[in-house]
Structure 1
Amino acid sequence: MSAKNVSSSSKKGDAGKTSSSSAKTSSSSLSSSQKIASSSSVKTVSSSSVALSSSSKQSSSSKKVKSSSSSLRLSSANLSSSSKKVESSSSEYVPFDHSRTLAGDYEVGEDAYHQFTDPRNGRSYYYIKITSSKTGKSVTVMAENLNIGEMILGADNQNDDTKIERYCYNNDTTKCDEFGGLYQWAEVMQLPSRCNTESCSDLIQPNHQGVCPDGWRLFTWNDYLVVRGYKDDFNDGVKGLRSTYGFLGTNQSGFSLTGAGRRTAAGKFLDLEGGFFWFFPEEFENNEDAKAYIGLVGSYSDSGPGRNNRDKKTLGLSVRCTKLE
């Protein structure tokens, strides 16, 4: 299903064989303290477009970009980075333990989580089976964000079709291991990079694998409906999809969303801990503006993504995968 031919040995930015708390990488850790706005972090907008904006303070290399009139406002607070083992001048960096983001056994049941290893880079991921109490349908989904590829700077587009490229929040690889990589739509889909600026609807396949490992496919709108239909004994709604780890959730579903933030089309990084954003493997039908459908969950919002939410394919968003069954 992938239009890109990528071998695991060609990804210079991957850590080689690593676990979820893996390889030694040289990187400077960035952290900052920002205020999360107390107002609702997600506003549902008309079906014409979805733009994302934030008041987050970013690195001096990022340009300031005015938000569009149809914006979803999410403010963020940077979390101290932790992830791949990194040597600093003062201490050895401790790998991030992804079990910290998961739900407890008392919420989802004993042994609800399992792990698999992506053979492309040796990284392991937690996953969970979620059943909708409304429809009885089940999906097996990753409980972590995908993290694979060579890191490139946020100022650049992911244009090298010979390998998988990723953004790491604030250009910091430790953020990638903690929150996963951020990917433009064509990279998510593993289609030619030209698909970020033109229609490639004829290349989208059923059960589109994209950047997911073999045996897995990209998370769809129908998958979201199943996950959102989890047994909700406490009326937590979307809050039950969010992890208790820095994302103001209860994680009753076990889905364990974390506030990974996003890379804007202008190359800025925003909304760490303020929002979780992902592309669906679908183009917006009226695609003269090169947009794709997106999902988003905000840290303070009780609302989930709207079916018609869409934005530019050149954003950098997170990836979740669904197991083929």
Structure 2
Amino acid sequence: MKRHLLSLIFSAFVLTAMLSLASCGGDDDGPTPDPCLNTTLAVSATSDVFDITATGSGGESPYEFSVDGTSFQSSGTFEDLDPKEYTVTIKDANECTNTTKVTVDDVCADLAVTAAVEEYTVEATATGGTSPYEYSLDGSTFQTSTTFADVAATDYTLTVKDANSCTATVAITASDLETLLDERDGQRYKFVTIGDQVWMAENLNVASDTARYCYDNVAANCDEYGAMYSWYAAQVAAPDGWHLPSKAEWDELETELGGNSIAAEKLVVGGSSGFEGALVGRRKEDNTYAGLDAVVIYWASDESSDTDAQNFILQEDAASVNIAGSDKDRGLYIRCIKN
């Protein structure tokens, strides 16, 4: 009986040992190794304008990519990104990841446009960015030409667009378009169209080596009223594209506006013509000045004699061409007319 009991106990021990050995080994290979521990997964990235292109290698495809570490996509291309440094992340089929850094440069940073504006014409100049450039005044219609001619007198925004679709702008005002830029000294003059003629709406004030006078010999008065010139100096004083008006051109102006007193009301400051003829006097032959707030006299290009030339007299209630003329050495104002 004892022997039988011991045999049962031994058999139970052997069975327990076998079960224990089976649970400790047998067909179990142990814990699964980490697939990312020695992975060869790598990512490379390049930037072009505002895009990033990432490519992967190693690891186990398929790959996914991200530039914010959160949102992943199967494509390695990211478009229209803000200029800054990015951390590009790759993730493979085993959820392994790797990163690299790439910078998107601001290729638009130095793009700029300037505008030379005068006489209803805009001339654009672009710098920086990447050529070729295109230009627009309305923001939608672009052209390769830098010149906009016969532009209506209103406010605009001039836009330049480069090869990378970067844009830069500059404001243009209606008043700029209705001015003449005298490139000799950088001064601007307003002008006005009256009938078929285009007149300066300000008196000329270009520096001259000889025969240029300021009212009462005060230099500041040239800046306020314009300068007076001898007839000889007046012959060569006009900027390119403009000239000293003839008697016939003064006559045409007066006739266009109704003649004499009617024309005068329209020609003086505040009149309906836009000529803005301020009554700023004259210089007499004895180098004295008179007529401020009463009269203004402008040269015409026609001679009356060897010593005299014709002029146009404007007063509050009268406007007319003086056929007899004035001494050519007298100081009178200049209103240029467009060629």
Using the size of structure 2 for normalisation, the TM-score is 0.45
Bigger share in strand = 2
Higher RCO, 1 or 2 (CA under 8 Å, sep at least 6)? 1
Using the size of structure 1 for normalisation, the TM-score is 0.47
